[in-house]
C-alpha cells in the first residue's frame, strides 16, 4: 500500500552511516520536520547530520493530504476560548508565515513540486452544524482574519455551509522534500538512510547517538521522529496519542475536476483535494480516522472512502490507497522546542494534530533559532515542556479506558496449542496456559508467533486486520506480523516465539 506521493523515485544516492562521525547538530528523522530543520541550519553554516531509520520521506510526510494551510479545522474559536485572542491571532500569523516560507524555499531552491495556490474550505452537510461554522467565521473576523461564509462550493456535493480562507496552497510533498535534501547536501550536510538510532548517551557537553552500526556525536540533538523515541524525561507518552487515517486516489478520467481543498466539520472527518498528475486527474480523499490500536474491524476502511468518491464521480477508478498516522495532543497544539528542562540542547517537534505541513515549518524555524541563539516570536505558543495537557484528567482517563477495553476484547483462548481454527491471513491474540501469544498465519500457511507486548512501554498490542500489523493502543507503535518495528515510538522489534 504505497502512497501516491511515494511513487516518485529517490534520485539521491544516500548511504547508511558507515563510520563514527562528529557534527554540530544531529537530527533523528528525515521527514519534513527533520529535513526543513536541516535545511535552515545547513544554510546558516552549521554542520548537520540527519539519521533516518528507513528511506527519507517514507512515513507521515509522504502519506499526507499535502495541504499548506492555516485553516486547521474550526480551530480559531477554540483557541480564543481556551487561550485568548492574542494567542489565537499569533497561531494564525505563525501558519501564514509558514505558507510564505515554504513558497520562498520553493522559489529560492527552484524545486518543481506542483505548488499551487488554492482556497481552503471547512464545510458541513448537516444543518445543525452551520452555526458552528458561522461562529468560526465571526471568531476569525474578530481576529482580523479574512474568512468568509458560503453555501456554494466547487466540490460537487450539497452542503449547508462552509468557511473559507483564500491564498492557501497545495503541493507534492515528496518532490518538495527531495528538493530540501538536495539543498542540505549542497551545503555539505549529511543524510544517512537505513541508520536507525537505537540509543542516546549524554556526555559532558555533547550527545552520542548510536545506530545499529556506528555513532554520531553532536552538541545539539533534534528529535524529529514523528513520535519521540525518548520517553524520559519528556513524558510525551502522557500528553498525546496516535490516530490512523486512510487515503485513496482515484482517476476521474474526463470528468470536470474541482477547485479548492476541503474538509468537513465533524466525525467522520473526510478531506478532499485534486491532484494533477501529467495527463491524469486524481481525486484524493482521506478519512475514516480512528485511534491507532483500537480493536475494531478495519477491513472496509478503504471501501467506505471509495463509496464516497463514487457518489461524486461514479466512473472514477481506484488507483492508489494507503494509510497514515498522526500524533494528537490533548490541547490541540503541537510540542515544539526544548525536549525537557533538564536536557539542555535537545529539541523536539511532535503532535501536529494532522496539520503537519505548516507546523513542520514553524517547528523548524523555532528549533533553528534556539540553536543559533535567536529569538522567535512564536516559540511561546508551542512550548514542548508545558504540563497543562497532563492536567486534562478526563481526556487521559478516556485514553486509558479505550486501551483497557481493547485489551479485554483481544483475549481468545486456544486449548492444547491448537491453532487450526486460525485461517490464512488472520491474526489473533491467544491465551495458552495463562500466557498470551500473538499468532498470524500467512497465505503459505506459515505461523508467526510473537509476544504481544509493545517494546515501547509494555502495553498489550491489538491485531490490525487491514494492514496485517500489530498496533499499540497506548502510543501508536506498529509492528509487522513477524514483529519488526515499523512506526515510532518503538525502536525495538517484538520478541518472537519459536
CA distances 270 to 169, 260, 261, 469, Å, are 18, 14, 11, 24
Say yes or no to pLDDT of 65 above 80.
yes
Is 31 part of a structural domain of the chain?
A: yes
Is 98 part of a structural domain of the chain?
A: no
Check residue 269 and report its DSSP letter.
P
| Helix, strand and coil percent figures for the chain, each rounded to 5 | 30, 30, 40
Same-domain status, 362 and 454: no
85 and 348 in contact (C-beta within 8 Å)?
Answer: no
**Percent of the chain surpassing pLDDT 70:** 93
Of 391, 414, 429, the domain-final residue: 391
Of 293, 308, 329, the domain-final residue: 329
Is 232 part of a structural domain of the chain?
A: yes
Say yes or no to pLDDT of 60 above 50.
yes
User: Out of 61-65, 142-146, 384-388, which region has the weakest mean confidence (pLDDT)?
Assistant: 384-388
Is 95 part of a structural domain of the chain?
A: no
CATH number of residue 378's parent domain: 3.50.50.60
**Angstrom distance (rounded) from CA 216 to CA 206:** 10
- Where are the extended beta strands (E) located within 360-456? 426-432, 435-441, 447-450
**Predicted confidence band of residue 474 (pLDDT cuts 50, 70, 90):** confident
Check residue 373 and report its DSSP letter.
T
Query: Does 233 sit behind a cis peptide bond, omega within 30 degrees of 0 on the bond before it?
Result: yes
How do residues 7-16 score in pLDDT, each as one tens digit?
A: 988 889 899 9
Same-domain status, 343 and 381: yes
Whole-model pTM: value is 0.89
Same-domain status, 224 and 345: yes
473 and 291 in contact (C-beta within 8 Å)?
Answer: yes
Total domains in the fold of the chain: 3
Same-domain status, 436 and 296: no
Say yes or no to pLDDT of 417 above 60.
no
Q: What is the largest CA-CA distance in the chain?
A: 69
CATH number of residue 434's parent domain: 2.102.10.10
Is 482 part of a structural domain of the chain?
A: yes
User: Out of 32-46, 219-233, 367-381, 403-417, which region has the weakest mean confidence (pLDDT)?
Assistant: 403-417
CA 357 to centroid of chain Cα atoms: 10
Say yes or no to pLDDT of 485 above 50.
yes
Same-domain status, 207 and 249: no
**Percent of the chain surpassing pLDDT 90:** 65
Helix, strand or coil, per DSSP, at residue 58:
coil
Q: Which one has a higher pLDDT value, 202 or 414?
A: 202
Same-domain status, 361 and 399: no
Same-domain status, 367 and 427: no
Terminal CA-CA length for the chain: 29
In terms of residue numbers, what domain contains 464?
A: 395-487
Same-domain status, 247 and 122: yes
Same-domain status, 161 and 259: yes
Same-domain status, 325 and 246: yes
User: Out of 14-28, 164-178, 222-236, 331-345, which region has the weakest mean confidence (pLDDT)?
Assistant: 222-236
Is 246 part of a structural domain of the chain?
A: yes
Cell matching residue 421? 481454527
Q: Which of 458, 391, 452 is nearest to 238 (CA)?
A: 391
**Angstrom distance (rounded) from CA 316 to CA 456:** 42
Q: What is the pLDDT of residue 412?
A: 43
Check residue 392 and report its DSSP letter.
-
**Angstrom distance (rounded) from CA 350 to CA 329:** 9
Is 86 part of a structural domain of the chain?
A: no
How do residues 106-139 score in pLDDT, each as one tens digit?
A: 999 999 999 999 999 999 999 999 999 999 999 9
CATH number of residue 295's parent domain: 3.30.9.10
Q: What is the pLDDT of residue 413?
A: 47
Tell me the average pLDDT across 141-154.
Answer: 97
Q: What is the pLDDT of residue 1?
A: 66
247 and 285 in contact (C-beta within 8 Å)?
Answer: yes
How do residues 249-306 score in pLDDT, each as one tens digit?
A: 999 999 999 999 999 998 889 999 999 877 789 999 999 888 888 887 888 899 999 9
**Predicted confidence band of residue 152 (pLDDT cuts 50, 70, 90):** very high
Average pLDDT, the chain: 90
Same-domain status, 231 and 341: yes
Say yes or no to pLDDT of 391 above 60.
no
Say yes or no to pLDDT of 338 above 70.
yes
Tell me the average pLDDT across 152-159.
Answer: 95
Query: Does 135 sit behind a cis peptide bond, omega within 30 degrees of 0 on the bond before it?
Result: no
Is 101 part of a structural domain of the chain?
A: no
| Cβ within 8 Å of residue 380, ≥6 positions away | none
Tell me the average pLDDT across 157-168.
Answer: 97
Say yes or no to pLDDT of 239 above 90.
no
Say yes or no to pLDDT of 459 above 60.
yes
Q: What is the pLDDT of residue 411?
A: 43
Same-domain status, 414 and 447: yes
User: Out of 14-18, 96-100, 434-438, which region has the weakest mean confidence (pLDDT)?
Assistant: 434-438
Amino acid at each position: 500500500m504505497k502512497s501516491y506521493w511515494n511513487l516518485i523515485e529517490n534520485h539521491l544516492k544516500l548511504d547508511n552511516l558507515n563510520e563514527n562521525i562528529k557534527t554540530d547538530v544531529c537530527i533523528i528523522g528525515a521527514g519534513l520536520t527533520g529535513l526543513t530543520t536541516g535545511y535552515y541550519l545547513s544554510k546558516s553554516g552549521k554542520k548537520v547530520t540527519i539519521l533516518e531509520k528507513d528511506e527519507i520521506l517514507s512515513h507521515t510526510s509522504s502519506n499526507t493530504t499535502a495541504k499548506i494551510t492555516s485553516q486547521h479545522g474550526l480551530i480559531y474559536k477554540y483557541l480564543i476560548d481556551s487561550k485568548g485572542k492574542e494567542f489565537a491571532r499569533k497561531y494564525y500569523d505563525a501558519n501564514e508565515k509558514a505558507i510564505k516560507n515554504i513558497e520562498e524555499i520553493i522559489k529560492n531552491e527552484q524545486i518543481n513540486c506542483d505548488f499551487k495556490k488554492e482556497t481552503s474550505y471547512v464545510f458541513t452537510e448537516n444543518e445543525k452544524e452551520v452555526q458552528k461554522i458561522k461562529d468560526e467565521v465571526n471568531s476569525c473576523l474578530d481576529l482580523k482574519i479574512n474568512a468568509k461564509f458560503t453555501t456554494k462550493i466547487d466540490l460537487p456535493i450539497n452542503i449547508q455551509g462552509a468557511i473559507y480562507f483564500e491564498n492557501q496552497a497545495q503541493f507534492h510533498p515528496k518532490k518538495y522534500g527531495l528538493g530540501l535534501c538536495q539543498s542540505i547536501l549542497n551545503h555539505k550536510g549529511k543524510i544517512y538512510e537505513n541508520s536507525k538510532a537505537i540509543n542516546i548517551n549524554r556526555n559532558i557537553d555533547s550527545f552520542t547517538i548510536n545506530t545499529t552500526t556506528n555513532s554520531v556525536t553532536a552538541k545539539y540533538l533534534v528529535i524529529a521522529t514523528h513520535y519521540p523515541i525518548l520517553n524520559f524525561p519528556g513524558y510525551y507518552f502522557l500528553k498525546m496519542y496516535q490516530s490512523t487515517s486512510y487515503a485513496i486516489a482515484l482517476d476521474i478520467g474526463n470528468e470536470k475536476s474541482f477547485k479548492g481543498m476541503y474538509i468537513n466539520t465533524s466525525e467522520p472527518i473526510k478531506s478532499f483535494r485534486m491532484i494533477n498528475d501529467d495527463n491524469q486527474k486524481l481525486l484524493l480523499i482521506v478519512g475514516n480516522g480512528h485511534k491507532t490500536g483500537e480493536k475494531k474491524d478495519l477491513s472496509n476502511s478503504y471501501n467506505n472512502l471509495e463509496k464516497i468518491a463514487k457518489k461524486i464521480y461514479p466512473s472514477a477508478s481506484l488507483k492508489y490507497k494507503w494509510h497514515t498516522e498522526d500524533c494528537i495532543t490533548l490541547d490541540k497544539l503541537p510540542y515544539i522546542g526544548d525536549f525537557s528542562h533538564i536536557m539542555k540542547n535537545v529539541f523536539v517537534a511532535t503532535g501536529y494534530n494532522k496539520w503537519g505541513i505548516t507546523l513542520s515549518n514553524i517547528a523548524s524555524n523555532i528549533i533553528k533559532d534556539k540553536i543559533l541563539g535567536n529569538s522567535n516570536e512564536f516559540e511561546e505558543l508551542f512550548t514542548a515542556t508545558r504540563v497543562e495537557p497532563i492536567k486534562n484528567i478526563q481526556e487521559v482517563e478516556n485514553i486509558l479506558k479505550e486501551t483497557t477495553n481493547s485489551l479485554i476484547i483481544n483475549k481468545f483462548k486456544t486449548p492444547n496449542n491448537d491453532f487450526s481454527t486460525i485461517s490464512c491471513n488472520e491474526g489473533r491474540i491467544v491465551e495458552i496456559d495463562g500466557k498470551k501469544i500473538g499468532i498470524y498465519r500467512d497465505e503459505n500457511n506459515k505461523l508467526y508467533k510473537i509476544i504481544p507486548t509493545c517494546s515501547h512501554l509494555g502495553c498489550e498490542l491489538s491485531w490490525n486486520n487491514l494492514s496485517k500489523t500489530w498496533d499499540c493502543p497506548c502510543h501508536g507503535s506498529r509492528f509487522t506480523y513477524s514483529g519488526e518495528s515499523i512506526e515510532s515510538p518503538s525502536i525495538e522489534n517484538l520478541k518472537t516465539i519459536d
